């Protein structure tokens, strides 16, 4: 048993469902007890999806436990096959089905006999892999299944496209700024005259999978999800892939140069240097910003970076290479990426941390007292407690990571966003001096402006007042005092508060 207060990566079924629901016309069936289908809430609330989340729980209850669940799962698969007419039904194991040791594959075999849709069992061990690993595996499994199927019926597109083309592998829903990153990648490839063959799985249909091999190469923007698929395609279809995340000016250039090398090997005479130079020096503002006098104050500032492997590496490189910030510790909770992580980043930071224990991260931040933190929502809260500013750079996602306005992290626009984020996270320049002179932005305890000091609050009433959320407390306090004054009451008791509430004068 592990005493856990918070977790960076979710359970395996969340990863599987993220892949399933990113595709169009794929329905996922979970074999789970009531309430375990909360993925539906996450997708509906965080992504603000307009469609009903295509996930159905085949509910495990006492009766199912007693009788066995076989018929119920099969019936549910068949039912969704009729009602939703999906191309694929993906049966998702859960912690419950794992413990019950049910032969889900047998259900799948039986259900597929009567279903129009293909039926697949997501092959993930719920206790051994986390959300990201499960997503990676499920994506590979689905791709593999449909490529094999297409080979069998000879519908596979094995001839390369005439012009250079690319598959983007891995972006799926509930990712960190994923939609904005996809838009930025589309823009980048358009500039480079490279056609996007497919983006898998976000928004793709199963039917597009057979077109995968016709692309010239693959990219995996976030190495946590998509790498297995890219490796499979490399091995079986001889497709090269690039797994560098184009985040930050330097890495974006690196990414484009890798594409350039690749295309040259494939016989294309391309030269992207001019494009890189133009974008870096004039289109993007971030390179100039790092050079500008404004940014001088960043030199020598310290930071701790923590998040998933992709974003931590990228942000650490930006801080260190582009901004001249000293990264005291860079860390990730993506334990399987440890080797890659260390290799990529050891030159850019003073220490490396691989853990999924947020307490440890918190302790290290408290000990080091960096000028700023770049991390997940957890580190943001650690920062709040320690009074250290924090920019959020990585999943686990939060509603704040689904902004309506355009906020990519990738490409040249992404580097602008990140530069803003970094700059705004530190207290800089003149602000620094002013803070020294005046001792802080504003005083900590803002006493709510009261009408007068005539009123005496009884302890009970005051305790009640403290329970009221801060943003309305001041208003309520004033209204209660007003009410007391009108009614000639000097002492504010709980009774007075309730009388005020009843009179409808509280808010």
Partner 1 sequence: MNIEQGSLINSNSITFECETGNYHTFCPISCVAWLYQKIEDSFFLVIGTKTCGYFLQNALGVMIFAEPRYAMAELEEADISAHLNDYMELKRLCTLIKKDRNPSVIFWIGTCTTEIIKMDLEGIAPKLENELGVPIIVARANGLDYAFTQGEDTVLAALAQTFGKKSTTSDNGTKSENTPNLVIFGSVPNSVVYELGNELKTYGIEIKGWLPAKRYTEFPILNEKDFVCGVNPYLSRTATTLMRRRKCQLIGSPFPIGPDGTKAWIEKICSVFNKPTPGLNDREEKAWKNLESYLKLLRGKSVFFMGDNLLEISLARFFIKCGMSVYEIGIPYLDKRYQGGELALLEKTCKEMGTFLPVIVEKPDNYNQLNRIKDLHPDLVITGMAHANPLEARGINTKWSVEFTFSQIHGFTNAKNILELISKPLQRQTTFKELGWKNYHTLV
Residues within the annotated binding site? Answer: 36, 429-430
> Between residues 54 and 171, which has the closer beta carbon with respect to partner 1?
54
Phi/psi at 492 (5° precision): -100, 115
**Residue 56, interface with partner 1 (CB under 8 A)?**
yes
As measured in angstroms, the least distance from the Cβ of 340 to partner 1 is: 24
As measured in angstroms, the least distance from the Cβ of 495 to partner 1 is: 8
Catalytic residue of the set 103, 294, 363, 495: 294
Q: How far apart are CA 476 and CA 378, in angstroms?
A: 32
> Between residues 99 and 486, which has the closer beta carbon with respect to partner 1?
99
Which of 31-39, 268-276, 313-321, 420-428 is the region at the interface with partner 1 (rule: CB under 8 A)? Answer: 31-39
As measured in angstroms, the least distance from the Cβ of 285 to partner 1 is: 34
Which of 46-54, 248-256, 265-273, 437-445 is the region at the interface with partner 1 (rule: CB under 8 A)? Answer: 46-54
Pull the structure tokens for residue 253. 């250039």
> Between residues 342 and 384, which has the closer beta carbon with respect to partner 1?
384
Subset of residues 101 to 160 that bind partner 1, contact rule: CB under 8 A: 126-128, 130
Residue span 317-356 as binding mask against partner 1, x where in contact by CB under 8 A, dash where not: ----------------------------------------
Q: How far apart are CA 14 and CA 130, in angstroms?
A: 9
As measured in angstroms, the least distance from the Cβ of 315 to partner 1 is: 22
Sole binder of partner 1 in the list 6, 282, 288, 406 (CB under 8 A): 6
Please report which helix (H) or strand (E) contains residue 29, including its range: strand 26-32
Q: Which DSSP string corresponds to 468-505?
A: S-HHHHHHHHHHHHHHHHHTT--EE-HHHHHHHHHTT-
Sole binder of partner 1 in the list 186, 257, 473, 498 (CB under 8 A): 498
As measured in angstroms, the least distance from the Cβ of 503 to partner 1 is: 9
Q: How far is CA 230 from the centre of its chain?
A: 21
Which of 94-102, 232-240, 339-347, 437-445 is the region at the interface with partner 1 (rule: CB under 8 A)? Answer: 94-102
> Between residues 438 and 471, which has the closer beta carbon with respect to partner 1?
471
Binding-site residue positions for [4Fe-4S] cluster: 36
**Number of residues in contact with partner 1 under rule CB under 8 A:** 63
Question: Is the separation of the CB atoms in 135 and 23 below 8 Å?
Answer: no
Sole binder of partner 1 in the list 24, 25, 42, 149 (CB under 8 A): 42
**Residue 504, interface with partner 1 (CB under 8 A)?**
yes
Sole binder of partner 1 in the list 71, 99, 236, 456 (CB under 8 A): 99
Write the CB contacts of 235 (distance below 8 Å, at least 6 apart in sequence).
Answer: none
**Residue 288, interface with partner 1 (CB under 8 A)?**
no
Subset of residues 427 to 466 that bind partner 1, contact rule: CB under 8 A: 464
Q: Which DSSP string corresponds to 239-271?
A: --EE-----SHHHHHHHHHHHHHHHHHTT----
**Residue 11, interface with partner 1 (CB under 8 A)?**
yes
As measured in angstroms, the least distance from the Cβ of 452 to partner 1 is: 25
Write the CB contacts of 237 (distance below 8 Å, at least 6 apart in sequence).
Answer: 147, 158, 212, 213
As measured in angstroms, the least distance from the Cβ of 36 to partner 1 is: 6
Please report which helix (H) or strand (E) contains residue 57, including its range: strand 55-59
Q: Between the CA of residue 35 and those of 88, 93, 384, what are the distances in Å?
A: 24, 15, 32
The answer to whether residue 294 is catalytic is: yes
Pull the structure tokens for residue 419. 């530069």
State the distance between the two ends of the chain, measured CA to CA, in whole angstroms.
Answer: 47
**Residue 491, interface with partner 1 (CB under 8 A)?**
no
Closest to 46 (Cα-Cα) out of 173, 222, 182, 203: 173
Q: How far apart are CA 370 and CA 328, in angstroms?
A: 8
> What is the greatest pairwise CA distance in the chain?
90
Which of 55-63, 110-118, 272-280, 450-458 is the region at the interface with partner 1 (rule: CB under 8 A)? Answer: 55-63
Is the bond leading into 33 cis (omega within 30 degrees of zero)?
A: no
Q: How far apart are CA 290 and CA 253, in angstroms?
A: 16
Which of 9-17, 138-146, 323-331, 447-455 is the region at the interface with partner 1 (rule: CB under 8 A)? Answer: 9-17
Write the CB contacts of 218 (distance below 8 Å, at least 6 apart in sequence).
Answer: 166, 167, 168, 169, 229, 230, 233, 234, 239, 240, 241, 242
Subset of residues 210 to 249 that bind partner 1, contact rule: CB under 8 A: none
Closest to 365 (Cα-Cα) out of 430, 292, 303: 303
Residue span 368-407 as binding mask against partner 1, x where in contact by CB under 8 A, dash where not: ---------xx--x---x----------x-----------
Sign of CA dihedral 394, 398, 401, 402: positive
> Between residues 207 and 495, which has the closer beta carbon with respect to partner 1?
495
As measured in angstroms, the least distance from the Cβ of 83 to partner 1 is: 6
Closest to 345 (Cα-Cα) out of 381, 317, 373, 382: 317
Question: Is the separation of the CB atoms in 305 and 331 below 8 Å?
Answer: yes
Sole binder of partner 1 in the list 5, 269, 274, 433 (CB under 8 A): 5
Q: How far apart are CA 220 and CA 242, in angstroms?
A: 6
Given the rule CB under 8 A, which residues bind partner 1? 1-7, 10-11, 13-14, 32-42, 44-45, 48-53, 56-62, 65, 76, 83, 94-96, 98-100, 126-128, 130, 377-378, 381, 385, 396, 464, 467, 494-495, 498, 501-502, 504
Active-site residue list: 294
């Amino acid at each position: 048993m592990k005493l856990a207060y918070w977790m960076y990566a979710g359970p395996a079924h969340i990863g599987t469902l993220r892949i399933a629901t990113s595709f169009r016309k794929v329905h996922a069936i979970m074999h789970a007890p009531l309430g375990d289908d909360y993925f539906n809430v996450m997708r509906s609330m965080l992504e603000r999806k307009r469609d009903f989340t295509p996930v159905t729980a085949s509910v495990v209850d006492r009766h199912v436990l007693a009788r066995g669940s076989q018929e119920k799962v099969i019936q549910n698969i068949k039912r969704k096959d009729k009602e939703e007419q999906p191309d694929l039904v993906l049966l998702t194991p859960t912690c419950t089905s794992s413990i019950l040791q049910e032969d889900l594959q047998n259900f799948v075999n039986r259900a597929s006999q009567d279903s129009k849709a293909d039926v697949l069992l997501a092959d993930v061990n719920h206790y051994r892999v986390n959300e990201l690993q499960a997503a990676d595996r499920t994506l590979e499994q689905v791709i593999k299944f449909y490529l094999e199927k297409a080979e069998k019926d000879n519908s596979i597109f094995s001839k390369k496209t005439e012009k250079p083309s690319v598959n983007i592998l891995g972006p799926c829903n509930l990712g960190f700024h994923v939609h904005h990153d996809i838009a930025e990648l589309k823009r980048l490839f358009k500039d480079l005259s490279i056609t996007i063959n497919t983006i898998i799985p976000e928004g793709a249909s199963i039917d597009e999978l057979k077109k995968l091999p016709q692309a010239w190469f693959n990219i995996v923007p976030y190495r946590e999800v998509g790498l297995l698929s890219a490796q499979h395609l490399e091995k079986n279809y001889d497709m090269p892939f690039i797994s560098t995340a184009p985040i930050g000016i330097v890495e974006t250039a690196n990414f484009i140069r890798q594409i350039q090398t690749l295309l040259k090997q494939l016989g294309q005479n391309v030269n992207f240097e001019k494009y890189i130079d133009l974008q870096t020096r004039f289109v993007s503002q971030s390179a100039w910003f790092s050079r500008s006098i404004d940014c001088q104050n960043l030199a020598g500032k310290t930071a701790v970076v923590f998040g998933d492997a992709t974003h931590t590496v990228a942000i650490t490189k930006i801080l260190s290479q582009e901004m001249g910030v000293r990264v005291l510790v860079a860390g990730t909770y993506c334990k399987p990426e440890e080797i890659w992580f260390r290799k990529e980043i050891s030159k850019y930071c003073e220490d490396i941390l691989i853990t999924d224990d947020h307490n440890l991260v918190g302790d290290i931040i408290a000990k080091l007292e960096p000028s700023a933190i770049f991390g997940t929502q957890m580190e943001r809260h650690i920062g709040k407690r320690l009074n250290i500013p924090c920019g959020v750079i990585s999943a686990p996602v939060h509603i704040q990571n689904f902004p309506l306005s355009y906020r990519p992290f990738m490409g040249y626009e992404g580097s602008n966003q990140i530069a803003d984020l970094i700059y705004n996270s530190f207290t800089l320049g003149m602000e620094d001096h002013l803070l020294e002179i005046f001792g802080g932005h504003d005083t900590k305890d803002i006493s709510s402006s009261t009408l007068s000091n005539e009123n005496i609050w009884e302890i009970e009433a005051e305790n009640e007042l403290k329970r009221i959320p801060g943003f309305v407390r001041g208003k309520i306090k004033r209204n209660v005092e007003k009410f007391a004054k009108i009614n000639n009451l000097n002492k504010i008791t709980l009774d007075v508060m309730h009388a005020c509430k009843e009179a409808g004068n509280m808010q």
